[in-house]
Amino acid sequence: MAPSDISTRLTRALQENAPVGPGIEPHLQAVIFESAAHPGRLIRARLVHAACIAHGLEESSAERLACAIEYFHLASLLLDDLPCMDDAQTRRGRPCPHRVHGDASTILASLAFINRAYALANLSFAPQPPAVRIAAHACLDACLGTSGLVGGQALDLRFAEGAGDARAVTVVAVRKTAALFWLAVVFPALLAQPSPDELRALKALCLYWGLAYQALDDLDDIPASSGDTGKTSGRDRLLQRPNLALALGVPAARTRLERLARQATATVTRLEQTHSRWAYLAEFHRTFFIGQVSTLLDAASLRAA
Amino acid sequence: MAPSDISTRLTRALQENAPVGPGIEPHLQAVIFESAAHPGRLIRARLVHAACIAHGLEESSAERLACAIEYFHLASLLLDDLPCMDDAQTRRGRPCPHRVHGDASTILASLAFINRAYALANLSFAPQPPAVRIAAHACLDACLGTSGLVGGQALDLRFAEGAGDARAVTVVAVRKTAALFWLAVVFPALLAQPSPDELRALKALCLYWGLAYQALDDLDDIPASSGDTGKTSGRDRLLQRPNLALALGVPAARTRLERLARQATATVTRLEQTHSRWAYLAEFHRTFFIGQVSTLLDAASLRAA
């Protein structure tokens, strides 16, 4: 399927599976509908969808699992933007929902997305053998809980109370950004019952991708290197939040990004050589990831020239 | 097992299963530990534990499922008390966690409890046949999502924008309080693969118990009829929140409470006659529910005398 077809289908699926129903309070419904209708680039949903198809799930089940992971992501964005967290004003070029519908409706919409995400994920894994289902539940617990997204966000918010060095920045990036890739890569890969070697490689890939994406985001947050991402920028310094480019300097952060990209390339190549069922990861890496890294590094080089 | 033994075991299980781990941010950990260590009367956890034992689960699995439901409940209390929601100052006689550790840590702790609750619930249901697991996932979605707790809280907060009559009060109580009983009664009962008639009776019982408990809580919130519950009282009128005693008047609310208690008694009696596996519900109803209703009605009568 062409990428644009997939995006269209996933965008429709996100609206169809949204947690709304009869008698829902209008503000809550508005936050849910607006969030589901403006889902960004769907990187994680497309990765999950590709994994599910590669691992033999039917289209409807693949879409459900893709929606599940995207809903977890959406929920984390809604909460991260709250005044008591990042106090963001805009997201994806639009006013944040809490500014339009209030904090309470935004928190409740986030919970509704999480709840529906669990329902969809559980449904997609329901026909699997017990060992796969138990591994899947443990994976969600690790990625979403205090060792993953929730724990990462807590460290992120209290970053100013810690050492503030590159190591502390990396710990937050592992728990937040790498955990989201883990959800999008390792979680659906459990359907294929990967070998221990494959599982190790998949986890390493998530680490490289996650840290690289966070480095991209951090470089993007530095006003001098920022493009128009539709997000509030330059806030990491202001809010004393973890930022690799602030901790290491822009040149060293760029060097690290290049190294992470090379490590990711080596890992997907190894996975692809192990088994053709991992070809979708190499495809994603080449068409999407490398493109993004190159664009940022080229743009920075042009500005430096 | 004696009630006090069960409470001790469940309190310990709540702390042992709490979503904390290495490298957790200290404020997040404090909210989680303090919440898990002061869990209130454990009504729902004890109901779930009794159900699991009656339906053949092992002690460790019964404790896990009891913790899961109590964590969902704990999470909803943490969020309900936030300044953007009920703006409560105290809960269970202690300052609310958001007043000590901030809103962000409280929201993240709530998410950590929800995430761990799903992990525990999924683990307890993992050995069940597919139909039971699918019914269990659908039950969680219905109880926790926009048709349950999340949707009820959204309607609760915007209650002042609606009709404000007894019907609107009841809609909120069904989605919030009855949904929590549904989680504590219908959800573990799925382990017993109840007949359609039994399932209908269980759902009716949750409705009667839920509405009765909400009526008790509403009467308790009226300062003239309030005891010392460790919660902030008299807030429903102040915050224009749904309260049956405000919508109907205290005498009519008491009459309704008495009717609900009679309906619940008739339902547990019928269930007990259908099959001995429902005896724990009749036991709970007689020793706990009827006691609570009588205490409140007697106290009100004494004051009226």
What are the Cα distances from residue B123, in Å, to A137, A155, B67?
7, 28, 12
- On average, the pLDDT of chain B sits at 91
Nearby residues of A188 by Cβ (< 8 Å), 6 or more positions away: A47, A48, A51, A52, A55, A65, A69
The domain locations on chain A are 1-127, 129-305
What are the Cα distances from residue A199, in Å, to A136, A205, B257?
13, 10, 57
Rg (CA), chain A: 19
| Tokens, residue A66 | 């893709």
| Tokens, residue A84 | 């008591």
Helix (H) or strand (E) holding B205: helix B196-221
Could you give the CA distance from residue A288 to residue A293 in angstroms, rounded to a whole number?
9
How high is the pLDDT of residue A164? 86
Instruction: Tell me which chain B residues have a C-beta less than 8 angstroms from the C-beta of A173.
Output: none
How high is the pLDDT of residue B226? 43
CATH architecture of A1-127: Orthogonal Bundle (1.10)
Shortest CA distance to A241 belongs to which of A275, A261, A217?
A: A217
Cβ distance of A21 and B126 shorter than 8 Å: no
pLDDT in tens, A43-70: 899 999 999 999 999 999 999 999 999 9
pLDDT-based confidence at A300, cuts 50/70/90? low
Q: Which of A122, A137, A157 sits opposite B104 (nearest CB)?
A: A157
Question: In this structure, which amino acid lies at residue A46?
Answer: R
SS3 assignment for B41-70: CCHHHHHHHHHHHHCCCCHHHHHHHHHHHH
How high is the pLDDT of residue A299? 66
Q: Which of B105, B145, B151 sits opposite A154 (nearest CB)?
A: B105
pLDDT in tens, A142-179: 999 999 999 999 999 999 888 889 999 999 999 999 99
In this model, does residue A18 exceed pLDDT 50? yes
Q: Which of B111, B130, B141 sits opposite A119 (nearest CB)?
A: B141
Q: Do domains A1-127 and A129-305 have the same CATH topology?
A: yes
Nearest-CA residue of chain A relative to B155?
A25
Q: Which of A19, A137, A157 sits opposite B122 (nearest CB)?
A: A137
How high is the pLDDT of residue B224? 59
Where chain B has pLDDT below 50, the residues are: 225-228, 305
Place of tokens 């036991």: B283
Q: Are A205 and A281 in contact (CB under 8 A)?
A: yes
In this model, does residue A260 exceed pLDDT 80? yes
Shortest CA distance to A212 belongs to which of A255, A247, A154, A148?
A: A255
- CATH code assigned to A129-305: 1.10.600.10
Give bridge partners of residue A91 from the DSSP assignment.
A94
How far is the alpha carbon of B94 from chain A, nearest alpha carbon, in Å?
22
Nearest-CA residue of chain A relative to B108?
A150
Cβ distance of A32 and B146 shorter than 8 Å: yes
| Tokens, residue B76 | 């909803």
How high is the pLDDT of residue A1? 58
Place of tokens 């525990």: B120
| Tokens, residue B147 | 């048709």
Q: Which of A27, A107, A158 sits opposite B158 (nearest CB)?
A: A27
Residue ranges in A163-249 assigned as alpha helix (H): 166-173, 179-189, 196-221, 235-238, 244-248
Q: Are B4 and B143 in contact (CB under 8 A)?
A: no
How high is the pLDDT of residue A228? 47
Query: Which comes out higher in pLDDT, residue A239 or B109?
Result: B109
In this model, does residue A304 exceed pLDDT 60? no
Cβ distance of A130 and B134 shorter than 8 Å: no
What is the reported pTM? 0.93
What are the Cα distances from residue B90, in Å, to A92, A196, B35, B229?
38, 49, 12, 10
Q: At what angle do helices A103-125 and A59-80 cross, to 10 degrees?
A: 150
Complex-level ipTM beyond the 0.85 threshold: yes
Query: Which comes out higher in pLDDT, residue B163 or A129?
Result: A129
In this model, does residue A303 exceed pLDDT 70? no
Query: Which comes out higher in pLDDT, residue A89 or A2?
Result: A89
pLDDT-based confidence at A78, cuts 50/70/90? very high
Shortest CA distance to A50 belongs to which of A69, A72, A73, A75?
A: A69
Instruction: Tell me which chain B residues have a C-beta less than 8 angstroms from the C-beta of A150.
Output: 19, 28, 108, 111-112, 115
Chain A to chain B Cβ contacts (< 8 Å) = 165
Instruction: Tell me which chain A residues have a C-beta less than 8 angstroms from the C-beta of B72.
Output: none
Candidates A79, A103, A111, A147, partner chain B, best to mutate (most B CBs within 10 A):
A111
How high is the pLDDT of residue B225? 47
How high is the pLDDT of residue B57? 94
How far is the alpha carbon of A299 from chain B, nearest alpha carbon, in Å?
36
